[in-house]
Chains A and B, each alone.
Chain A
């Protein structure tokens, strides 16, 4: 349907209102979309593999990560041991796969903590405004003035060690980012014309919050959540590397690299391969986050 209803059949350069795509067309569009973005496809595959390793490690690596054959210690990668073996003869690939669940659980917990707490703080600050906003944002600013890893270290000093405490420490350190994004989105939406229009037609404030603010704010927050997922993996593995995570023989990825460090000079695979796994996971997560961000922008 063109804009001018009086045109005398002249072709226009303006965009004509398209019909919505049928199911078949939609599948074809999706395939073409993915075909132009091979990187995204690879990233998705990697993430699927990692998630599989986290929830069903036995599928990818049926062995026992804690049992090692001492005679086979410090073997480089080969057909029998894809990632080689460590100083106790344990298969490194199996350990990496089983470590995925530890790392991922911790990361999920961290992001959940950051999202819920940060999201609530940001929503409150943006929606209520005035002094509540001032107070909450000052606190957030202070949290931002302390580098994340130091804040996490302080929390660990106070709470103690272990993978759960590491997760919470990382989560709390990321609250500030979520609070800021949520607040910015809430403010933007609250000031938008359609929210005022909703008020003008008599919509109550809590309905506005639920039906207008949250759905429109969700987009950028989800993008941040995916991004933070990658950052959390790095943070959790760093703290684990420093020794504050799960005690040995837990195969958390950071801890694996810490163990392998002692043999760096001779056995490069002990550090390199778990590290590459971390890097691949984070890269894939970031790629997905960028894709989501790109789509979200187009929709706006």
Chain B
């Protein structure tokens, strides 16, 4: 059991290291000359003056060979030094830390919306005997994933803020300000959870062991909740890592639409001025979240599936 965990931990570290390398390649190697990129000021910023450029060169050592640069960057990163923002000069780690709390608020809100709505929809669609109701319910997730997230946010603002004056359209003050952003953020992920769980439940209900249970005389609700759900939840659990990563990514758009401070806004601002260290820091952070959530899921798996606990591969 602990060998299993140890292996997972090693994989997690490897993924993080690989993510660092990928971001390094994309951000520092891909642009022919990262200094010019950073110094240009991008869309929204001012180009940097020659003194600032010299300071940059000294700081990041661009005259040294590539491998040395990579090595020293990685070394610094392992110590928590992810560089500092080109435009504001603020330490990247501090900037992320500052931007995190409001993002966590809506991310959790979004997760709640996604899990509750998604599971409720999947269970309702599977439990109902009315064919039309099932078709309607299952059409909803497909609809939800076809809508652009930023547009959904804007429409919600239109209806509930400007139209009905129920909820605020901007800002981060108070619980009311959490509602619309959380819903906007959670909707696409809820749709995904609903689709995966519904498909999984359907598959499980077709399995021979469910037929055996029916032959025992077990009733519909026990069949669904007692037999099917636990088995069906397993594949649904695997998307949790993906969901977490995407919630974070969704904040980029949602915080812009609702004019909230947070990681997403920070990202948008950084991309706007081509602030490479900040962008790298945020991408690494997202990767870290993904890896951590997956580790958590890996810890949860043996609890739910006895085959995994004993190290037996579960036949799909």
Contact = CB atoms under 8 A, between A and B. Distances in A.
Interface of A: 138-139, 141-151, 153-161, 230, 234, 237-238, 241-244, 254, 257, 261, 264-265, 268, 271-272, 275, 278-279, 282-283, 286, 290
Interface in B102-161: 142-143, 145-151, 154-155, 157-158
B158 A146 contact: no
Contact of B31 (A158, A261, A265, A278): A158
Contacts of A150: 248-249, 252, 267, 282-283, 286
A158 B242 CA distance: 25
Given A145-B15, A158-B37, A264 B148 contact: no
B13 interface: no
6 contacts: A138-B14, A146-B283, A160-B274, A265-B162, A275-B155, A279-B147
Contact of B18 (A142, A238, A286): A142
Contacts of A161: 42-43
Q: Which 3 A-B pairs have the closest CB atoms?
A: A147-B249, A275-B151, A142-B18
A126 B248 CA distance: 32
Contact of A157 (B27, B147, B155, B250): B27
Contacts of A278: 148, 151
A155 B26 contact: yes
B283 A151 contact: yes
A75 B120 CA distance: 42
A250 to B, nearest CB: 15
A158 B283 contact: no
Contacts of B145: 286
Contacts of B158: 264, 268, 271-272
A243 B246 CA distance: 21
B268 A242 contact: yes
Contact of B248 (A147, A160, A257): A147
A154 to B, nearest CB: 5
Given A142-B15, A150-B282, A283-B143, A241 B253 contact: yes
B146 A283 contact: yes
Dominant SS among interface residues on chain B: helix
Contacts of B87: none
A141 B149 CA distance: 25
Given A147-B286, A154-B280, A286 B148 contact: no
B200 interface: no
Given A150-B286, A272-B155, 8 more contacts: A147-B245, A147-B246, A158-B37, A238-B253, A241-B148, A241-B253, A275-B151, A286-B145
B172 interface: no
Contact of B30 (A145, A158, A234, A238): A158
Contact of B142 (A147, A265, A268, A283): A283
A256 to B, nearest CB: 11
A257 B252 contact: no
Contacts of B256: 242
Contacts of B248: 147, 150
Contacts of B204: none
Contacts of A290: 142
Interface in B204-263: 242, 245-246, 248-250, 252-253, 256-257
A264 B280 contact: no
A141 B162 contact: no
A146 B22 CA distance: 10
Interface string B20-38: 0011001100110010010
B82 interface: no
Given A154-B283, A156-B271, A242 B249 contact: no
Most chain B beta-carbon contacts within 10 A, residue among A145, A238, A261, A290: A145
Contacts of A156: 271
A151 B25 CA distance: 12
Contacts of B282: 150
A138 B252 contact: no
Nearest to A147: B249
Contacts of A257: 148, 150-151, 154
Contacts of A283: 142-143, 146
| Residue among B15, B242, B271 with max Cβ neighbours from chain A (10 Å) | B271
Interface in B146-183: 146-151, 154-155, 157-158, 162
B253 A286 contact: no
B291 interface: yes
A150 B264 CA distance: 10
Contact of A264 (B146, B154, B268, B290): B154
B29 to A, nearest CB: 9
Given A154-B283, A243-B272, A271 B23 contact: no
Contacts of A254: 148, 150
B270 interface: yes
Interface-centre pick from A141, A234, A257 (highest chain B CB count, 10 A): A234
A242 B253 contact: yes
B49 to A, nearest CB: 21
